[in-house]
Structure 1
Amino acid sequence: MAKEGGSEMKKKKTKKSTETYKIYLFKVLKQVHPDIGISGKAMGIMNSFINDIFEKLATESSRLARYNKKPTITSREIQTAVRLVLPGELSKHAVSEGTKAVTKFTSS
């Protein structure tokens, strides 16, 4: 590639923002076990786990909305996705905590 006039414009790389849940994971850890710490590697694994679960829930709730010919994902699709993605007792706890959070959000 030949340079012309010596003024070659460089494209600035835009950094893709990635959501991390490290702060929130740490807060929950301190609520449950105030005396226990967590390594950076373990925190990275937990962050990947959270991102993976959210991705699965988003995919499943999107699929449910499409099946029902609905243009919008509502709390109902999210709740059904949670029941399908998470196993047994874990889904029951997740649904009850989610319902509690939605109720708190709508009442404020």
Structure 2
Amino acid sequence: MEKAESLSEIEARIRKHRLVLLLISRPNCSVCQAVRPQIEELLLKKSEIHGFHIDADQVTEIAGAYSVFAVPAVIVLAEGKEMLRKVRFIPMGELEKQLTQLISAYIE
């Protein structure tokens, strides 16, 4: 998962890739630190989805741009449109199933 350093960089990557997963977190969030390696592992199995990590403390405008009020937040976009959002509690099995369905709809 790549790290995004600015809102403009995030927007450029969303335009570039058909399927994008954004993981928005904060460094002092223990849940965020636990979720990130699980998301990274999941993305290894789903190479069709491009994953980007955003530090909400560093890219402060992310909260307003994507209406993020709690972290960790996972936002999945297909062709620039939000298709899926998970916040705080992120069930990995459910997320994996939903990503598989999204890949089937947009790639295959």
Please indicate the TM-score interval, normalised by the length of the shorter structure: under 0.3
Higher helix share: 1
Higher strand share: 2
| Normalised TM-score (structure 2) | 0.25
Structure number, greater radius of gyration: 1
Which structure has more relative contact order (CA 8 Å, sep 6+)? It is 2
| Normalised TM-score (structure 1) | 0.25
